[in-house]
Structures are given as structure tokens and as C-alpha cells.
Amino acid sequence: MPSNAARRAPSRPSSDRPYMAETQFSLRIPNRPKAVRRALVEICGRTDASGSGPDTVGRIEITLAEVLNNVVEHALRHEEEGEIHLTATRKNDGWHFDIRDGGVAMPGGIVPHPDLPGNNCPLENLPEGGFGWAIVNTLARDLHYRRRAGGNHLTFVIPEH
């Protein structure tokens, strides 16, 4: 659950109110692509303010974009006003993410492991989608998915080197 401090945090980044260095924060993200975009900008600001380098912040943004957009496009697709609950915690080995939604389950109850197209894939056969989970599987460590209490619960770590 989000802490009280996190709940009071501004929902949007503001250039005249820089983020404090913090080791944990929580966000509630409405199930819309533009809300995901705003959340990603905010999360980058917060992880950057906590002292994480640009490479780490970049890997966090790329991974979370795929995870959060997947929830919006699939799990919460039929919800008028769904919400994603995200908690980020910085530990010695990196940023630990806990992401929950009340949408429909992941097909098969597991995180997809799609293959990327091979190097000799002809142009006309190149996929225009399906790259998302390949990216997540590459960048995230300790990726776990559980279905419980009518919702989805995904946890993973973005390591800091």
C-alpha cells in the first residue's frame, strides 16, 4: 500500500518543485496512454533525483513503458476508469517495482516470452508489435507474475550497476 507521504506527493512533475531524494514512492496511474506517459516522466524525475544514473533511469523508463502500456491495452482494456498501482523501492541491488491492477488475467497466467525476429527476417514479414515483453524480459530481473484477489500483481527489479 502507498505510504501517506507518497499519497501526498504531487501527481504531476513540476519544474519549480524538484523531487527529493527518496528510496520509495507510490503512484496511481489511470488506464490511459497519456496518463502512462505522464507517470513515466514523473518516475524518471524521481529516480534521477534519487541519484540513479541516466542508464538506469533509461532502463526503468523503457521497461515500465512496456509493463504499464500492456496493462492499459490488455488487462484494463474494458474498464472505463481503471487504475494501476505502482510502488518503487530503491535497494542495494537496484529499483524494485511492484505493479498491481484489477483487470483481466495474463493469458495462460504467465508472462509472455516472445522470440524476436531473426536477423534474416524479410522486410515484409517483420512484426509491427510484440516487442514489448522481449524488452521487459531482457531488462528486468526477478520477474514474477501472480494472479490473486481478482487482480494482477507483477514484481521485478531493474538492477543498478
Partner 1 sequence: MNLSRHETADACVISVNETRIDAAVAIQFKDRMRDKTEDAGARIVLDLGQVEFIDSSGLGAIVAAMKQLGPDRRLDLVALNPNVDKVFRLTRMDSVFRIFDTLEDAGAL
Which residues of this protein are in contact with partner 1, per CB under 8 A?
33-34, 36-37, 40, 54-55, 58-59, 61-62, 65-66, 69, 72-73, 116-117, 119, 121, 123-124, 126-132, 134-135, 138-139
Tell me how far apart the alpha carbons of residues 156 and 139 are, in angstroms, rounded to a whole number.
10
Q: Which is nearer to partner 1, 62 or 111 (CB)?
A: 62
Q: Is the separation of the CB atoms in 143 and 70 below 8 Å?
A: no
Report the nearest approach of partner 1 to the CB of residue 42 (Å): 14
Q: Which is nearer to partner 1, 21 or 116 (CB)?
A: 116
Q: Which is nearer to partner 1, 111 or 135 (CB)?
A: 135
Report the nearest approach of partner 1 to the CB of residue 135 (Å): 5
Report the nearest approach of partner 1 to the CB of residue 82 (Å): 15
What is the grid cell recorded at 158?
Answer: 531493474
Q: Spell 121-155 as b/e; 16+ CB within 10 A means b.
A: eeeeeeeeeeebbbbbbebbeebebeeeeeebebb
Q: Which is nearer to partner 1, 2 or 38 (CB)?
A: 38
**Residue type at 101 in one-letter notation:** D
Tell me how far apart the alpha carbons of residues 106 and 126 are, in angstroms, rounded to a whole number.
25
Q: Which is nearer to partner 1, 55 or 93 (CB)?
A: 55
Radius of gyration, alpha carbons of the chain = 16
Report the nearest approach of partner 1 to the CB of residue 36 (Å): 7
Burial of 22 (0-12, 13-18, 19+ CB in 10 A): middle
The SS3 of residue 7 is helix
Report the nearest approach of partner 1 to the CB of residue 92 (Å): 24
